[in-house]
C-alpha cells in the first residue's frame, strides 16, 4: 500500500508538516517585523485627520501639503498670525520658503544652460571678474555648494534694505573678505545661490524677480507666490512662534526685511505649501523643466554628496528632500517627495517645538501612513 502507511509516505508527510510550520513561522515573523517598521497606510480622509492630530500632539502649527498617489490635500493647524486671529490656510497668509527656494533658482539656471547661454562648467569669472578665485569656480559648483565660498552672516540683519543688485554686490564683497573653504568639498552657504541669482540677472538682462515671475509663477499659474518685495497689500506674511512653558504662540518673530532683502535667490521667496508643491511638480512635468532637465539638475558633475540643485536625492534617486528655516525666526520648512511627485509632504511650519530631527520625525510619522517602505526618517 503506497502513501501514508509506507516509510517514504511517512517522511513525505513529516517533511510537509515541517515545511508548513516553517512557512507559518516565517509569515508570523514577517508580519511582526512589518508591524513594527511600517505603519498602516491610510486613506486620504484618514491621512488629513492623522496629520492634524499629530501636529497638535507635538505642538506644531502651520500648513502641510499631503500627496498620496497623486492626490493632494492640505492640513492646516492653528493660527498663522495669532494676534490678528488669522488661521493657517487663510488665503491672505504667505510663508517664507527659506532654503527651499534654492531649487527654484537652480531650475532657472538649468533653463539657461539648455538655452546654451553657458554650461555647468563655465567659470563664474565671466560675470564676477573681481571675485576672488572666480576663475577657478564653476556654475555647477555654486549649485552644489562646492565652490569654497564661505560668507558669514547671510542670515543676520545688517540694517540695510538691499536691492537685488546691492545684495549681490554685498555678497561679493563679503566673499572677498572671508577665507574660503576647500574648493570641491561640500560647504552649504547661501552666498552660492545669491551669486547664481546675479548670473540670472546678467544673462537675461532682467531682475531675478522678473525671471521668477515669467519662468515659474506664470507658467504654473501660482496665486500665492511672490518675491518678498512684491507681496501685494492684500497679503500678509505669517508670524512665527515657539511652544514654551506649556503655551502656544510664544516668542513671536517675523521675517526681517533686512535679512530677506540680502538673500536674493536664496531666501527671498514667499509662498504656501500648496503652491510650493506645484513648483516641485513643475520641475518634472515640462512646465518649468522636463524630466530630462530635472535629471540633469539633480545629477550635476560637481556634486560630492546627494545634494544637487537645491535638494538632496535619497534612496537611489527615488526621493528628494530639502529642509529650511529662516534666520532667527521659528519658521521651519521640510519637503520629502518621491521624485515623480506622486507621494510625500511639504511642511510649512510657523510654530516649532523641539530639534530639527524631532520635527522631521513628526513629518516621517505622517509619511509612513502615506505609503509604507517608501520614505526615510531624515
Tell me the average pLDDT across 340-368: 96
**Grid cell locating 13:** 508527510
DSSP 20-77: HHHHHHHHHHHHHHHHHHSPPPPPHHHHHHHHHHHHHHTT-EEEEEEEETTEEEEEEE
Residue 38: pLDDT band (50, 70, 90) is low
More confident residue, 32 or 104: 104
pLDDT of residue 213: 98
CB atoms within 10 A of CB 72: 18
Strand pairing partners for 65? 74, 346
Cβ contact 220:278 at 8 Å: yes
Q: What is the tens place of the pLDDT at every residue in 93-125?
A: 999 999 999 999 999 999 999 999 999 999 999
CB atoms within 10 A of CB 44: 14
- Whether the predicted pLDDT of 66 surpasses 60: yes
More confident residue, 366 or 34: 366
Query: What CATH class does 44-370 carry?
Result: alpha beta
- pTM, 2 dp: 0.89
Domain spans, the chain: 44-370
- Whether the predicted pLDDT of 211 surpasses 50: yes
- Whether the predicted pLDDT of 61 surpasses 50: yes
Residue 244: pLDDT band (50, 70, 90) is very high
Tell me the average pLDDT across 293-305: 98
pLDDT of residue 336: 98
pLDDT of residue 300: 98
pLDDT of residue 23: 43
* Pick from 141, 115, 116: nearest CA to 128: 141
Tell me the average pLDDT across 126-150: 98
Measured distance between the N- and C-terminal CA atoms of the chain, rounded to whole angstroms? 65
Q: What is the tens place of the pLDDT at every residue in 214-236?
A: 999 999 999 999 999 999 999 99
**Grid cell locating 325:** 528655516
| Mean residue pLDDT across the chain | 91
pLDDT of residue 12: 41
pLDDT of residue 6: 40
**Grid cell locating 194:** 545669491
d(CA 336, CA 349): 14
pLDDT of residue 4: 33
Residue 27: pLDDT band (50, 70, 90) is very low
pLDDT of residue 21: 45
* Pick from 141, 132, 218: nearest CA to 176: 132
- Whether the predicted pLDDT of 187 surpasses 50: yes
Amino acid at each position: 500500500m503506497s502513501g501514508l502507511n509506507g516509510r517514504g509516505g511517512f517522511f513525505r508527510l513529516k517533511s510537509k508538516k515541517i515545511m508548513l510550520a516553517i512557512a507559518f513561522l516565517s509569515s508570523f515573523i514577517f508580519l511582526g517585523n512589518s508591524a513594527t517598521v511600517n505603519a498602516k497606510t491610510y486613506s486620504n480622509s484618514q491621512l488629513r485627520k492623522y496629520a492634524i492630530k499629530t501636529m497638535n500632539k507635538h505642538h506644531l502649527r502651520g500648513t502641510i501639503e499631503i500627496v498620496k498617489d497623486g492626490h493632494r490635500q492640505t492640513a492646516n493647524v492653528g493660527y498663522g498670525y495669532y494676534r490678528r486671529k488669522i488661521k493657517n490656510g487663510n488665503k491672505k497668509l504667505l510663508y517664507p520658503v527659506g532654503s527651499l527656494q534654492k531649487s527654484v533658482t537652480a531650475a532657472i539656471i538649468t533653463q539657461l544652460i539648455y538655452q546654451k547661454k553657458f554650461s555647468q562648467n563655465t567659470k563664474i569669472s565671466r560675470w564676477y571678474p573681481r571675485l576672488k578665485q572666480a576663475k577657478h569656480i564653476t556654475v555647477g559648483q555654486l549649485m552644489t555648494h562646492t565652490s569654497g565660498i564661505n560668507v558669514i552672516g547671510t542670515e543676520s540683519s545688517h540694517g540695510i534694505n538691499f536691492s537685488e543688485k546691492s545684495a549681490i554686490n554685498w555678497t561679493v564683497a563679503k566673499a572677498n573678505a572671508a577665507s574660503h573653504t576647500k574648493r570641491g568639498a561640500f560647504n552649504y552657504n547661501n552666498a552660492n545661490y545669491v551669486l547664481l541669482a546675479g548670473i540670472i540677472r546678467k544673462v537675461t538682462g532682467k531682475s531675478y524677480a522678473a525671471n521668477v515671475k515669467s519662468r515659474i509663477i506664470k507658467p504654473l499659474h501660482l496665486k500665492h507666490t511672490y518675491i518678498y518685495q512684491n507681496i501685494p497689500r492684500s497679503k500678509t506674511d505669517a508670524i512665527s512662534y515657539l511652544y514654551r512653558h506649556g503655551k502656544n504662540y510664544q516668542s513671536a518673530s517675523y521675517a526681517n526685511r533686512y535679512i530677506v532683502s540680502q538673500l536674493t535667490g536664496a531666501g527671498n521667496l514667499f509662498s504656501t505649501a500648496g503652491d510650493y508643491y506645484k513648483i516641485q511638480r513643475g520641475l518634472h512635468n515640462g512646465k518649468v523643466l522636463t524630466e530630462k532637465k530635472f535629471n540633469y539638475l539633480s545629477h550635476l558633475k560637481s556634486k560630492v554628496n546627494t545634494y544637487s540643485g537645491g535638494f538632496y536625492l535619497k534612496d537611489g534617486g527615488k526621493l528628494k528632500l530639502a529642509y529650511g528655516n529662516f534666520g532667527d525666526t521659528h519658521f521651519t520648512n521640510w519637503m520629502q517627495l518621491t521624485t515623480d511627485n506622486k507621494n510625500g509632504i511639504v511642511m510649512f511650519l510657523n510654530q516649532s517645538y523641539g530639534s530639527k530631527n524631532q520635527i522631521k520625525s513628526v513629518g516621517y510619522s505622517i509619511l509612513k501612513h502615506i505609503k509604507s517602505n517608501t520614505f526615510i526618517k531624515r
